[in-house]
Structure 1
Amino acid sequence: METATLAKPALRIGPYAVDPPVVLAPMAGITNVAFRRLCGQYGAGLYVCEMITSRALVERDATTMHMITFDPSEQPRSMQLYGVDPATMGAAVRMIVEENLADHIDMNFGCPVPKVTRKGGGAALPFKRRLFGEIVRAAVRAAEPAGIPVTVKFRIGINDEHTTYLDAGRIAEAEGAVAVALHARTAAQRYSGQADWSAIARLKEHVTSIPVLGNGDIFSAADALRMVAETGCDGVVVGRGCLGRPWLFRDLQAAFAGQPVPDGPSLGEVAVVLRQHAELLTEHYGEDKGVRDLRKHMAWYLRGFPVGSELRQRFAMVSTLTELDDLLGGLDHTAEFPADADGPRGRQGSPAKVVLPEGWLNDPEDATVPAGAELMHSGG
């Protein structure tokens, strides 16, 4: 059991108090309304939906419109937008304002996926400083009439030779973003290696009028407190650390309140959480798609527990709620939370050269909208 020793920092995202100063990072295929509801039961904070592309929203793509489902309990409703064209971004935010679709907009400039960067989107885009500023400005101006706060998330840069985060922070601050978040890795690192928290500290020194949030390698409440202590950041963004562990937000709430962090759940308690996750996914997608969507979470939930390989394989292929109940009944519900369940989880992969459009690095002041980078699908 851990006991926190660090006083929590105050965090505001525009008009919204975020207490504790914890944000659930948007994760493709993960942070749908079901997972957000599940995490939100364990602690307060800001829970952001999956990445929504501005073009898909403006064109009312059916899948995208279903993805922006929010539970009535979610306040504020937080939507992450991806875009590469200031005009499309402005139109998307005006649509959000006019149709009251969200209360907070987070802009994604951190995606390292090759299909995105090869067209100049995601983590590649902040290199084009003028274009980056124009996109942020378009969102902020469109959001102003409704008082919707806009935040911006980005990475350290494309690679070690082309860092962009200090410029991105300065530009976002100047264009009216109310906070910035740094995933302390380059696009070339993807999710591998170790996040460079010292970059968060440098950004905090560089951006002084709005909150700076840190993201990367927070797998426990102790990690979050250490990041704040080491970097001076105003809050933390949690991504892979909560996969199969929605109770991490309970731990974070306790830690930032200076209270003892609860012990991890028994396997029986995990089974209850897993069953509730299945119910929430079924409510959102229907039983067939909902239970199939749960499969990707099974290894995360069961990590470190004494569950045989055959049973794990059956969990990974589960198709119905009835089948899930049978499998959950076969677990040893008395098994205690394993010590080795902490630590990195989810995708890590290995570093790789970032694929960019031809000539992308020639002129950082070029504000030309990259051809073909507007995505017609949401979620990454």
Structure 2
Amino acid sequence: MSTSAMTLRIGPYTVDPPVVLAPMAGITNTAFRQLCRQYGAGLYVCEMITTRALVERDATTMHMITFHPDEQPRSLQLYGVDPVTMGKAVQMIVDEDLADHIDMNFGCPVPKVTRKGGGAALPYKRRLFGDIVAAAVKAAEPAGIPVTVKFRIGIDDENLTYLDAGRIAEAEGAQAVALHARTASQRYSGQADWSAVARLKEAVKTIPVLGNGDIFKAQDALDMVAKTGCDGVVVGRGCLGRPWLFGELQAAFRGEPLPEGPKLGEVAGIMRRHAELLTEHYDEHKGLRDLRKHMAWYLHGFPVGSTLRRGFAMVSNLQELDDLIGQLDHDVPFPAEAEGPRGRQGSAAKVVLPEGWLDDPEDASVPAGAEMMHSGG
């Protein structure tokens, strides 16, 4: 099947091109999602929301689930370790019409999460994992809200969980699964093992399988589909400071010529638009502070002096941003060195797990203290 003819269906929704923006903590708020959606179609997922924080109506969490009126379908990612809380959170989403699609996070490799048995540690407990997925599906089904599940290859090379996780999610009624083709111990280091995506595609027969990991340019997405047979791709760090990547991905999947990379002046305009959207979502002070982390990504590879870079990294209001933008050479073409990996990479590390976690994969008891009150990771 040629990629230009690919259609991805997740429940009632057609995702064309078959591209999903991965939820990223502190990144994929409504402002960044709007920015990305200007360039290309796809599914754009809100940053991770914890089931407990949602059920308890934590004020920060309730603000995080802001969707633009034009955003369709509204896609929300949930983190949870308890089937009961997961069921309540999904019921609340249904009752209050808070989202149109629910993705479940079982891929987080952060020590504070795995230490308590959450995130990427959880699929090792097959029965508990199945119970959590089943609870979400049961609550979502009457409203026609599709539930999808994202996970990693496993805890480490000795404890691979992805094939079981894929089959269990499929059996419990998930509408698609996504694999970040790294173990939790790899975090974001090394290379994603795309062959695992191919093996998952063979194991899961009736629902779409999406691949995630090391998609930094449009060709990477086409290569992943060609090598693995996956039904779509999930893009995370590749779009940091590069929301126009979604336009390139749309062109690539439709077999159209890729748009030229933006000149520095165009990038400056995108930064300005991002600042406006963040100001609308928060306020000017908080919005500009939030923008700071994006600055190095936006300017990556461009010949911008260190003083100017520092100014962008410390920007605190729109006037300052405009002054800095005025000092850039707007005609500088998009540099080749701006392609390739971006965002955190770090190094591999042993995964911290609860005492005795690996003793019994069939143990369905909820891990103590793993429910998190803070959304966004």
Task: Return the TM-score normalized by structure 2.
Answer: 0.99
Aligned to 1:261: 258
Where 2:69 maps in the other structure, the secondary structure is: coil
Are residue 56 (structure 1) and residue 53 (structure 2) matched? Answer: yes
Alignment partners' CA distance in 2, 1:111 and 1:7: 32
Alignment partners' CA distance in 1, 2:53 and 2:6: 37
Aligned to 1:362: 359
Alignment partners' CA distance in 1, 2:235 and 2:3: 18
Shift of 1:7: 2.9
* Deviation digits for residues 60-87 of structure 1 (CA, Å, limit 9, x no counterpart): 0000000000001110000000000000
Shift of 1:8: 4.1
* Deviation digits for residues 96-121 of structure 1 (CA, Å, limit 9, x no counterpart): 00000000000000000000000000
Q: 2:177 aligns with which of 177, 180, 205?
A: 180
Alignment partners' CA distance in 1, 2:6 and 2:245: 19
Alignment partners' CA distance in 2, 1:357 and 1:154: 19
Alignment partners' CA distance in 1, 2:210 and 2:145: 19
1:8–1:21 CA contact under 8 A, matched in 2 = no
Q: 1:72 aligns with which of 69, 73, 78?
A: 69
Q: 2:336 aligns with which of 335, 339, 345?
A: 339
Q: 1:300 aligns with which of 274, 297, 300?
A: 297
Aligned ranges 1:52-201 → 2 under 5 Å: 52-201=49-198
* Deviation digits for residues 182-209 of structure 1 (CA, Å, limit 9, x no counterpart): 0000000000000000000000000010
Alignment partners' CA distance in 1, 2:243 and 2:269: 12
Q: Output the amino acid matched with 2:113.
A: V
Where 2:46 maps in the other structure, the secondary structure is: strand
Q: Output the amino acid matched with 1:96.
A: I
Shift of 1:321: 0.2
Where 2:182 maps in the other structure, the secondary structure is: strand
Aligned ranges 1:214-229 → 2 under 5 Å: 214-229=211-226
Q: Output the amino acid matched with 2:48.
A: M
Q: 2:229 aligns with which of 228, 232, 250?
A: 232
Q: 1:284 aligns with which of 281, 286, 299?
A: 281
Alignment partners' CA distance in 1, 2:99 and 2:306: 43
Q: 2:270 aligns with which of 258, 266, 273?
A: 273
Alignment partners' CA distance in 1, 2:239 and 2:4: 22
Q: Output the amino acid matched with 1:242.
A: C
Alignment partners' CA distance in 1, 2:302 and 2:327: 13
Aligned ranges 1:2-13 → 2 under 5 Å: 6-13=3-10
Are residue 378 (structure 1) and residue 372 (structure 2) matched? Answer: no
Alignment identity in percent?
82
Where 2:102 maps in the other structure, the secondary structure is: strand
Unmatched 5+ residue regions in structure 1? none
Where 2:45 maps in the other structure, the secondary structure is: strand
Are residue 39 (structure 1) and residue 25 (structure 2) matched? Answer: no
Aligned to 1:242: 239
Aligned to 2:249: 252
Alignment partners' CA distance in 2, 1:366 and 1:290: 44
Q: Output the amino acid matched with 1:344.
A: P
Q: Output the amino acid matched with 2:12.
A: P
Q: 1:317 aligns with which of 299, 314, 318?
A: 314
Shift of 1:324: 0.2
* Deviation digits for residues 284-340 of structure 1 (CA, Å, limit 9, x no counterpart): 010000000000000000001110001100110000000000000000100000001
Shift of 1:145: 1.1
Unmatched 5+ residue regions in structure 2? none
1:8–1:20 CA contact under 8 A, matched in 2 = no
Where 1:319 maps in the other structure, the secondary structure is: coil
Shift of 1:10: 1.2
Alignment partners' CA distance in 2, 1:30 and 1:341: 20
Shift of 1:263: 1.1
Where 2:48 maps in the other structure, the secondary structure is: strand
Consecutive aligned runs of 4 or more in structure 1 exceeding 6 Å deviation: none
Where 1:301 maps in the other structure, the secondary structure is: helix
* Deviation digits for residues 33-69 of structure 1 (CA, Å, limit 9, x no counterpart): 0000000000000000000000000000000000000
Alignment partners' CA distance in 2, 1:133 and 1:150: 13
Superposition RMSD in Å: 0.6
How many residues align? The count is 376
Where 1:185 maps in the other structure, the secondary structure is: coil
Where 1:186 maps in the other structure, the secondary structure is: coil
